[in-house]
Every structure is written in structure tokens, then in C-alpha cells.
Structure 1
Amino acid sequence: MSNNLSFLAGGGDVGRLIASYEWGGTALGPIDSWPEARRTAIAMVLRAPVPVALLLGPDGVMIYNDGYAGIALGRGRHPACLGASVLTAWPEVAAFNAEVLRVVLAGGTLSFRNHELGLMRDGAEEKVWFNLDYSPLPDARGEIVGVLVLVTEISERARFERAIVEDRARLRQMFEQAPSFMALLSGPEHVFELTNTAYRQLIGHRDVLGLRVREGLPELAGQGFFELLDRVYASGEPYVGRGVKVLLQATPDSPAEARTLDFVYQPVRDGGGGVTGIFVQGVDISDRIAAEHARAASEHQFRTFAQTMPNHVWVAGLDGGQTWVNDRMHDYAGMTPGALCGFGWRGTIHPDDLAETDVRWKESVATGAPYEREDRRRRHDGAWRWHLSRAVLIHDCDGLPRCWIGTSTDIDDQKLVEQALRDSELRLRLSQEAAGIASFEVDVATGDVMGSERLWALWGLPQATRVPLAVFERLVLPEDRLAPWSETGPRDGTAAKNVEYRIRRGDTGEERWIARHVEYLRDAAGRPVKMFGVMRDVTDAKQSEIRQQTLTHELAHRIKNILATVSAIASQTLRDTDLATARAAFDTRLQALARGHDILNASRWTTASLGGVVEAGLGPFPGERITINGPDLAIGPRRALTLALAVNELGTNALKYGALGDNGGHVSVAWWREDTADGPRLVWRWAEAGGPAVSAPERRGFGRFLLERVLAADFGGSVRIAFAPGGVECILTAPWPPTQWED
């Protein structure tokens, strides 16, 4: 090292870095130009045994020794901060250092102890503590040209001291918040030095700090506690009290209340082993003792109650084994006391029921769910009788499971009654279903209706548990609405007992007749409570009655019509012909009329199939030479008889003179719907083909009169007859659809 840099000799690693550093690029200028005063200050800093730094010039250019380099290196700043401004070298504390430069360069000094700074290390802020001293650095003329910094890092010690403070605070907090009561008594007079919240609650929040126990808690006089404290202090032996009774005042003027305590008097010793005070710690167990007494009283009351009950009462542990049963259980089973405890009760269960009982009981024990089970149990006389057992899990005041309490009730007689009731209900239901009867009841107070399955089917309503009466009232035809009941009938008990009315089903809208009978259940004052009733669909009976009346009327009407028809046939047949010929023609026409009657008798004179009438009318004629084709249509009785006579006339003439004669002709009978400008029409056509040539008769006989006059009139249409060279063609046109052709 040259003589110009001799001031750096003995400066360690940092001295060598200073020697090689290019200072010409800094505010300090080349190192050869540095004044002697600066060189001397740097030499002192480099040789200092503690971390020291110089902040030179207004920017605080940094020069420091190996001690300071260790601090900077640990935070990734060395050697970068050598020759750099302190403001840029430590940007996170730039404001702090700027204030240091301002004060010290102005001639002031600064000193900090346990000073906390937040310095960055590896991208994260680290809390560190320093003792810092800042002094002015003068040049040879006494002008302040820099700051001398003495740095002592005390982070480890600061963290340790803070941990001690925090530990003490936690201990104090634990002392204060401890659930047990605590107090520290000092000296032979037992002066209160510390008390926690629980202790202050115990003594009614009295301010006793600094007072002797005899002054702070005067009500303890005569209870032996002062003497006990004196003995512990004198002997140095701790005292443990359990379940100790004490009378304490909540306030100075209130009467003393009895409390029960568990506590310890623990001597406190100094470094020499001498007793200096007593630490008091304990628990107020008054509530627990009261709860235990209450529990004992409750258990006594429960067992007394259980012994007087007619049921079997038992208690089971959390493992499912019974720990107590009342005397009635032993008497019922004919077993000695205690024989049913544990799992001895399983021996009284019917073998066929035991497995399921075990499964159900184990499930409840495992899950805590309420237990309910019906099984058979052996009575002392060997009879197996049905029992209903129920049990619930009992919890203590802390919500923890404690035990199971259960009952077992003999329900064998009830089972027999229930079975008899089910049999009776089944018989009643079958009887009602067979008779088509629906049962119902009306709650007078709410107006709700409940009923059997048949009720909902009868009215076309969806199955329901209960619905308002108004739902049914809306389905009654308006003109019949006052028949079932008046506006207040269901509520005041004035509804008619037996009535028939019409409804419109809720699902199909179909009109049906209902017959109903009701009775009222009344309270002691005679007010109606419920209305019970039955009803059935009497639509078929009503229609039968109507048909009977109609039949009587129709019979008279049809007899007159038949007599008129026979009279007309006779009149037309016997006119201008010999007796034998007339008789044969008359017989044929009567047979055609009879065939029409047969078809109508099959349908009870309601309607007849148009095709069936044609087929029956052509039955006497050669069927292999006749084709019939058309849709299935229904026509009324009068049209059926007229059509039967018309088909007979056409067939007879075809057999005698036309296509059904010996020349091998053919007849086609067809009908269809034809859409016209006037609407849809029925077209019925008789067409002969392959027969001898025909011509129109010179006079109109019965057949033509029947076709052109009677057939056309009865069908409400027109008939056209054509005598074509190949045979007769007869065409009937009439309104469509068939509903317009009913009588």
C-alpha cells in the first residue's frame, strides 16, 4: 500500500475495499485528494472495535469498518452501500436518516436506545433494534463535514426482553381470567396484594387490595379461616380444603350467604426459603353441590314415580345394559330383583322377535336416536303378550349423554281390539265397495271434508286427506244446490238427512245423480260437531227409471206405429191383386218388418246399426251375389224399420225381375259420407248390375211408395230411383251425422 493510503493500514477487509474503490465518481472525489482530517477520521473508524460508520457530505456518503460491514452484509447491503448515499443504501429508513443528517450536520447530536427499525431482508421486512449514537464530524477548520455513527445491534436482547414482558402479560391475563378464584396475600397480616376476577366475584366485587383479610372480609371471623391462614404462614405447610362451608357477604350490608369451596392455601417463599405470603386458589362448588342434591332428589322422585306407574319402567346405561328396573317388571316376569339388569331382560323376549329387537336397540344406543319397538314378552305364567317399548337418551346439564330411560307397556289387549277393528273396517269397506257406497265426515268447525277412497272417485276429485266443503258444493248443479243442505245446513245441523241431487264430476264434467244420507254428532249442549254420512251414485237407477217411463210411453207409441205400418202394408198389398199373391207379398213384408224388430230388440229399442239392418234385410236372398260396404253408423228405431222394409222391397223386386234372378246378376249396397256445399251428407246406394233390362213400371206400387215417400221422409232426405238397362239403382241422400237421424 502506498504512503498515500497508509491511513488504511490495519483497516481489515473494508480498508482494502476502500483502497480499491473508484472514489472519483463520488461526491468525495479521488482518494488522493482527501484532506488529512478525513483520512484521520477514516483511520480511527477502521480500527474501532465496534460497528462505526461515517456519513460524509450533505448526501451522507457511507464509509464504515468491518463491524458495520457485518450488519450491512447480513441484510444484503455490503459492499453495495460503501461509497453510496445512506439515503439510497437504506431506502426503507430514508426519512429517518434524512432527519439525522439535517440535525447533526447542523451541529446537533442524536442518541437512540432500543430503537426499532423495519429493515428489508430477502424481500420481507424484519423488525430489528439498535442503540444508535450520532455525532458531528468537523474538518481541520472546525466545519461540520459529516456524521460519526456508533451502531450497536441489540435485536436478540430486545426480542428476549419483549418476550419476558409478553409472558408476564399472558401470565397476568391467565391469572385474571382463570376460572378458579385466586388471591395473593402478603406478610403475616395477610394483606391482599392481588385478586382475580373469579375471586372478586366470590366476595361481591369488594375492593380489598391493600387491606388485611380481617378488614376486607370481616364476616369470616369465627369461621376459622383467619386462624388457618396464621397456621399456614407460621408452619410453611400448605392446606387443602374440600367441600368447606363458608359464609360470605355479596356486599357489606347484605346478609351472609352459604357457599361451598374447594381451595388451597399455598405458602409463598423468598429466595432464602422464608414465607413471605400465601397464594389462595380454589373453586366455588356451591352450584355443583346444589345440582348433586337436586339430582339425588330428582332420582328419588323419579324412582318413587316409576314404582307407582302401571307400566314397566327401566333405566339403561350408555352400553345398553339396564341399570335399574321398577318392581312391576320383576313381578310381571316372575323373576328375582336384579335378574333383569344388565342384559337379563333379553331372556323375556320371544325368540322370533329377539333378533330384530337387538338390532333396533343397538341402533338407538349407537346413534342416540329414540327407541321404539313392539315385541312379545313372556309373562310369569308363560303367556307371550305384545309390549310397546319406548326409550329416550337423557343428557346432563352440559349436554353430555347420561343414560336411557324407557317404558314397556302391555298392549296385547289393545292389539286384539285393533285387529277386530281392522276386520270390521275391512268388512265395512268391502260392503261399501260392493254396494258402491262412499263414506265421509264434515268437521263443522272448519268445514273440512274427509272421506273414503270411493268418495273422491265418485266426485271425480284427486285423492286428498281433507278439502273444504266448498270444493264439493261447486260441483253440485246450480238448480240442485240447496237440495243437499241450506246455506247454513252443515253448520247448524239442519241439513236434510236423505236427499238426491245432481253433480258434474270434477274430472270429466259428466253429470251424475247422487243419493246421500247424513247423521250429526253433537256436543253436550246439542251443537253439531261433526256430520257423518254415506252416498252413492244412483245415475243408473235414475236412468233406468227414466227409461222405464220412456218405455211405457214408447211402447204405446210403437204399438200405434206398428199397427199403422201393418195397416199400410195390408192396404197397399191387397189393392188390385188376387188373394194368393197378396198373401205371399204381405207375409214377406211382415217378415222383413219382424227382422227389423229383432235388431231393435237386441239394442233395447235405442239404436240399430245401419249395416246390421241391411244384412238382416238381405238375409233371405242369395248372399254370394250381394256385396255390402259402408261405415258403422247408428240409426233410430223408425229409420231402422223403414230401411228394413225398403231393403226387402228392393231385394224382392231384384229376385223377381232384376239382378238376383236366374240370369246371374249382382247387387251392390254401399253408403258413405259426402261433403257438399250444404254440409256433409249421407249417401246410401242400391245398385244392380248384370240383370235383365228393366223399365219403369206403369203405376206406382207399395215398394215405390215406400222408397220415395216413407224412406225419404224418415231419413229427412230424398230418394232417387233409376231404371237403368243393367238394373235398378236407388240412391238415398240424407243429413250427416247420425245424431240427426235419431227418433
Structure 2
Amino acid sequence: MFDSPFPICLWIGPEYALLYNDAYRRILSAKHPASLGQPGGIVWAEIWEELQPQFDQVRRGGDPIFFEDAPFTMARLEGGASDLAWFSYSLSALRAEDGSIPAVLNISPETTPRVLAERQVSFERDRLSQMFAQAPTFMALLSGPEHRVDLANGGYMQLVGHRPVLGRTVAEALPDAVEQGYLTLLDEVFATGRPYLASGAKYTVQAQPGGPVNERYVDFVYQPLKDAAGQVTGIFVQGADVTDRQRQELELRNSEEKLKLMVLELNHRVKNNLATVQAIAVQTLSGDRPAAQMRESFLQRISALATAHDILTQEQWEGATLHSIAKRVLSALAAASDRVHVAGPDASLSSKCALALSMAFHELGTNALKYGALGAGGGYVTLSSAVEPGGRLKLEWRERGGPAVQPPSRRGFGSRLLERGLAAELNGSVELMFEQAGLRCLIAASLDC
């Protein structure tokens, strides 16, 4: 008994004097060694009222007693502190040759770690079940090659029209999904073990044969579940109903189409600027950039042109000044506009020259904000002007304090607009110099271009 790894003790005589092995010492904790030979009512005074009737029953010759995971609050820690512990223990009579019962044999392994671990697992399982049930996305757990629905949360039930799917195969419960090819996809995932993802997939829900049809769009994944041997045992279905998003995107596409029509109408009405607007639209909306980015660039360039139109309208389209065009166009750079310094004499520009320079300042300012000096905290731009005898305007755009400049590998629309279109519009020249310290742009134009 004393060599056993299990906690074993004898409770001897009518007072139940305690004799125990080394394994039982761990149960006694701070009560050891003072408990050796002491009566049970002293050793476990805090729980003796519950234990004594059990011991008395066995000592009177009753059947053995066994309790599994019985909880006790025991004052066994240092300083008499208590802790809650669980035990699976047995009490049985130890008989003498004459049939009397001089002692009660007690085997009591402590099960506290296991009980606490099981409670934690149960807590986590309940929490996961709540998360599964309350998740805003739809979820379902399918088992076996027939894809039997073992679990389905509220989102999934709503998607399939609250049909009775639990315990049934997909083929039995969702014939509309079978007709649309979703069963074939499930079979492929189960056979290959590879997940399947879809975005914006159409699912036409018909909860009752011959009933109303509800068209939904979903993002979803079929995730195969595998056992320890790597064999697929089921499929986890998770996704979101994105019908509202799809409809909004359709509305957005329709709005963009309407916007293009409005732009075409504007081009028609503003005949004097038709060529410029057409060039902007063709160059900006081409290429492989995202539609939103192309749209943003296009609208920014139109806005710069509109700013010049506002100024010219105020001046009855008789022209505008250099400083007014520069400050109004560059004010679109928001806080960065404070780091653009306009220097040199002002000059009166023709309407054609004002429109051309407004586009030039927009391209230079936007480029500086994205890639040049205005994108850095300490960077700045100086726009200086000079008017030569004979009515020639000289402009210099100089960027400093930004990142080191590298000559581009290809010319974008902005560069082409400056070097080709602007030079032609101004009846002058434009030179872009990609100096390491910052971009320089030299513009020469006729004031009456």
C-alpha cells in the first residue's frame, strides 16, 4: 500500500486515526506531517461533517462507497487557506480475522486538474457554439461524401430560406443549389481536398418548388476538413451575403456611365475646349490601372480645367492673371499648397494660355504631392516667373527637399501633356529636368498664345 503511486490511507479505530502513504501527502499539502496519527475530525475538520457519515456506514459493515469527481473546499494550504478540489475516492472496510472492521481503506486520487481542464474545454465549446450561432456570416458543417448538414447557423438558415436542412444531405435539402452547380463544387472539394473560394457568386433561392425566386449574391469558401490521416471527412461552409454590395456596385457602374455621358455633353457644350477634354479622357481612362484610380485622376484634371473656367468666367473670358491661375489651381493641394511659393512678376494671360497653364500647374502639383517634394514633410516648390521684352513669359517650377529623383522609364500622360500638348498650346517650349535634388520644369510661352 505504501509503495503505491495512488494516494492511499487507513482510517483506524473509532476515531479514525490517519495513516497514509507518500502519494497522500500531496493531498494533505500543508497539513503534513502534523496529520499523521490524528483523528479524522481533526485532520479534515472543515469537511468532517460530510465525511464522517460515509466512514461510519462502511465501518458498520456496509458496502464500499465510491464517489467520482466529488468537490471539497479544504483548508490545506499554508496559513490555513482553503482551496476547492475534486476527488474520485472510495471507502471500503478492512476486516480482521474475526470479522471486525478495525480500519477503513481510503483510495482518493485528486482529479482537480482534469475537472478544471474539462470545464475549460466545455466553456470554450459553449463559447464557440455561441459565436457560431451568432456570427453575422453564414456557416454550415457538412459531413461525409454526401455532404450531410450537421450544423448550420442562423445566417445559413436565412440564406436557404429556413428550410429543414439539419441531418439531411445537400441533395435532399437544397435541390435549387444542386441545379446551380454547388453540389458539383462540393464533390470536387471533397475529392481533391482543396478549398474553393468564390466572390459575388449568384445563388437563386427557391425555398419551395414553384414558389417565389430570390436572387442573392454571396462570397463564400468551401474548406475541406481532414482527419489525423489526412483524409477528407467533411466540408466547412462559410461566407457572407453580399447582395447589397453587388447592387451598389451595379448602381455605381450605372452612375459612372451616366457621368461619362455628362462629360461628353460638357465636351459638346464647351466647344473651344473639346480637344483638350478629349485628350484628357482618352489618356487618363486608358491603361490597366484600377477604374477608381483612373476616375479620380480624370476628375482631378477636369476640376483643374474647371477652376480656370471659373476664373475666366469672372473675367468675362477676356483672360486671367498668372498668379490667380497658379494660386487657385494649386490650392487643390490642400495643406501642401502652403509650401508652394509663387515669385516674380504677375502677367496677364489670354484665355487659351490660362487654360493650358492651369492644366500644367495641376499636373506638376499632383506629381509633386504624390512623388516629389510636396509628398515629404520638409519639401517645397518655387514657381518663379519673368517677362522678357517682346512679351515672352518664362516660368520655372523647382522642387527641393523631397526624395531623390530618378528619370522615369517611360513618359506618362502628365509628361506628354507638358512636353507636347502644353508646348503647342503655348506656342513655346517645355523642358522637364529630372535632377536628383528635385524636378525642374522650364516653360517658355507667348503671352498672347
Structure-2-length-normalised TM-score = 0.56
AA partner of residue 347 (structure 1): A
Q: Does the CA contact (< 8 Å) of 1:333 and 1:380 recur in 2?
A: no
Instruction: Tell me the residue number matched to 2:36.
Output: 82
AA partner of residue 53 (structure 1): C
Is 1:287 the equivalent of 2:265? no
Instruction: Tell me the residue number matched to 1:247.
Output: 204
AA partner of residue 282 (structure 1): G
Instruction: Tell me the residue number matched to 1:333.
Output: 311
Match of 2:159 among 190, 195, 202: 202
Instruction: Tell me the residue number matched to 1:570.
Output: none
Instruction: Tell me the residue number matched to 2:67.
Output: 112
Match of 1:229 among 180, 183, 186: 186
- Please give the alpha-carbon distance, in whole angstroms, between the structure 2 residues aligned to 1:252 and 1:243: 25
Question: CA offsets, 1:124-173, max 9 Å, x none?
Answer: 54332322110123345323343211121233333334434444334433
Match of 2:177 among 217, 220, 231: 220
- Aligned to 1:188, the other structure's residue is in SS state coil
- Please give the alpha-carbon distance, in whole angstroms, between the structure 1 residues aligned to 2:334 and 2:140: 56
AA partner of residue 26 (structure 2): G
Is 1:347 the equivalent of 2:326? yes
- Following TM superposition, by how much is the alpha carbon of 1:280 offset from its aligned partner in structure 2, in angstroms? 1.9
- Aligned to 2:239, the other structure's residue is in SS state strand
- Aligned to 2:108, the other structure's residue is in SS state strand
- Following TM superposition, by how much is the alpha carbon of 1:238 offset from its aligned partner in structure 2, in angstroms? 2.7
- Following TM superposition, by how much is the alpha carbon of 1:242 offset from its aligned partner in structure 2, in angstroms? 1.7
Q: Does the CA contact (< 8 Å) of 1:184 and 1:278 recur in 2?
A: yes
- Aligned to 1:153, the other structure's residue is in SS state coil
| Aligned pairs for 1:316-715 within 5 A | 325=303, 328-334=306-312, 347-349=326-328
- CA 1:283–1:124: 2 relative to 1, 3 Å: farther
Match of 1:99 among 50, 53, 59: 53
- Please give the alpha-carbon distance, in whole angstroms, between the structure 2 residues aligned to 1:110 and 1:346: 99
| Aligned pairs for 1:41-52 within 5 A | 45-46=1-2, 48-52=4-8
- Please give the alpha-carbon distance, in whole angstroms, between the structure 2 residues aligned to 1:324 and 1:155: 74
- Following TM superposition, by how much is the alpha carbon of 1:47 offset from its aligned partner in structure 2, in angstroms? 5.4
Instruction: Tell me the residue number matched to 1:532.
Output: none
- CA 1:330–1:133: 2 relative to 1, 3 Å: same
- Please give the alpha-carbon distance, in whole angstroms, between the structure 2 residues aligned to 1:278 and 1:305: 50
Question: CA offsets, 1:681-724, max 9 Å, x none?
Answer: xxxxxxxxxxxxxxxxxxxxxxxxxxxxxxxxxxxxxxxxxxxx
Q: Does the CA contact (< 8 Å) of 1:191 and 1:213 recur in 2?
A: yes
**C-alpha RMSD over aligned residues:** 4.3
AA partner of residue 65 (structure 1): N
Q: Which runs of 5+ in 2 are unaligned?
A: 267-298, 314-322, 339-347, 355-449
Q: Does the CA contact (< 8 Å) of 1:268 and 1:276 recur in 2?
A: yes
- Aligned to 2:310, the other structure's residue is in SS state helix
- CA 1:331–1:105: 2 relative to 1, 3 Å: same
Is 1:276 the equivalent of 2:251? no
Instruction: Tell me the residue number matched to 1:61.
Output: 17
Q: Does the CA contact (< 8 Å) of 2:311 and 2:325 recur in 1?
A: no
- Please give the alpha-carbon distance, in whole angstroms, between the structure 2 residues aligned to 1:145 and 1:99: 16
Structure-1-length-normalised TM-score = 0.35
- CA 1:350–1:245: 2 relative to 1, 3 Å: closer
- Following TM superposition, by how much is the alpha carbon of 1:303 offset from its aligned partner in structure 2, in angstroms? 9.3
Q: Does the CA contact (< 8 Å) of 2:35 and 2:43 recur in 1?
A: yes
Q: Radius of gyration: which is bigger?
A: 1
- Following TM superposition, by how much is the alpha carbon of 1:237 offset from its aligned partner in structure 2, in angstroms? 3.2
Question: CA offsets, 1:491-521, max 9 Å, x none?
Answer: xxxxxxxxxxxxxxxxxxxxxxxxxxxxxxx
- Aligned to 2:25, the other structure's residue is in SS state helix
- Please give the alpha-carbon distance, in whole angstroms, between the structure 1 residues aligned to 2:301 and 2:68: 73
Q: Does the CA contact (< 8 Å) of 1:219 and 1:256 recur in 2?
A: no
| Aligned pairs for 1:117-156 within 5 A | 117-120=72-75, 121-122=77-78, 124-156=81-113
- Please give the alpha-carbon distance, in whole angstroms, between the structure 2 residues aligned to 1:345 and 1:182: 60
- Following TM superposition, by how much is the alpha carbon of 1:358 offset from its aligned partner in structure 2, in angstroms? 6.7
- Following TM superposition, by how much is the alpha carbon of 1:198 offset from its aligned partner in structure 2, in angstroms? 1.9
- Please give the alpha-carbon distance, in whole angstroms, between the structure 2 residues aligned to 1:208 and 1:345: 70
- Please give the alpha-carbon distance, in whole angstroms, between the structure 2 residues aligned to 1:143 and 1:203: 72
- Please give the alpha-carbon distance, in whole angstroms, between the structure 2 residues aligned to 1:345 and 1:203: 62
- CA 1:328–1:346: 2 relative to 1, 3 Å: closer
- Aligned to 1:244, the other structure's residue is in SS state strand
- CA 1:379–1:92: 2 relative to 1, 3 Å: farther
Q: Which runs of 5+ in 1 are unaligned?
A: 1-44, 309-320, 336-343, 363-377, 384-743
Identity among equivalent pairs (%): 37
Q: Does the CA contact (< 8 Å) of 1:334 and 1:380 recur in 2?
A: no
- Please give the alpha-carbon distance, in whole angstroms, between the structure 1 residues aligned to 2:324 and 2:92: 96
- CA 1:358–1:179: 2 relative to 1, 3 Å: closer
- Aligned to 1:283, the other structure's residue is in SS state strand
- Aligned to 2:230, the other structure's residue is in SS state coil
- Following TM superposition, by how much is the alpha carbon of 1:185 offset from its aligned partner in structure 2, in angstroms? 2.1
- Following TM superposition, by how much is the alpha carbon of 1:300 offset from its aligned partner in structure 2, in angstroms? 7.0
Q: Does the CA contact (< 8 Å) of 1:333 and 1:348 recur in 2?
A: no
Instruction: Tell me the residue number matched to 2:320.
Output: none
AA partner of residue 248 (structure 1): V
- Following TM superposition, by how much is the alpha carbon of 1:217 offset from its aligned partner in structure 2, in angstroms? 1.0
- CA 1:328–1:208: 2 relative to 1, 3 Å: same
- Please give the alpha-carbon distance, in whole angstroms, between the structure 2 residues aligned to 1:326 and 1:99: 95
- CA 1:297–1:154: 2 relative to 1, 3 Å: same
Question: CA offsets, 1:167-187, max 9 Å, x none?
Answer: 433443333333332222223
Instruction: Tell me the residue number matched to 2:382.
Output: none
- Following TM superposition, by how much is the alpha carbon of 1:258 offset from its aligned partner in structure 2, in angstroms? 0.9
Number of aligned residue pairs: give it.
304
Question: CA offsets, 1:358-411, max 9 Å, x none?
Answer: 78999xxxxxxxxxxxxxxx998799xxxxxxxxxxxxxxxxxxxxxxxxxxxx
- Aligned to 2:41, the other structure's residue is in SS state helix
- Aligned to 1:144, the other structure's residue is in SS state coil
- CA 1:324–1:119: 2 relative to 1, 3 Å: farther
AA partner of residue 236 (structure 1): G
- Following TM superposition, by how much is the alpha carbon of 1:327 offset from its aligned partner in structure 2, in angstroms? 6.5
Is 1:259 the equivalent of 2:237? no
Q: Which has the higher contact order (CA 8 A, sep 6+)?
A: 2
Q: Does the CA contact (< 8 Å) of 1:333 and 1:379 recur in 2?
A: no
- CA 1:292–1:50: 2 relative to 1, 3 Å: same
- Please give the alpha-carbon distance, in whole angstroms, between the structure 2 residues aligned to 1:213 and 1:203: 11
AA partner of residue 256 (structure 1): V
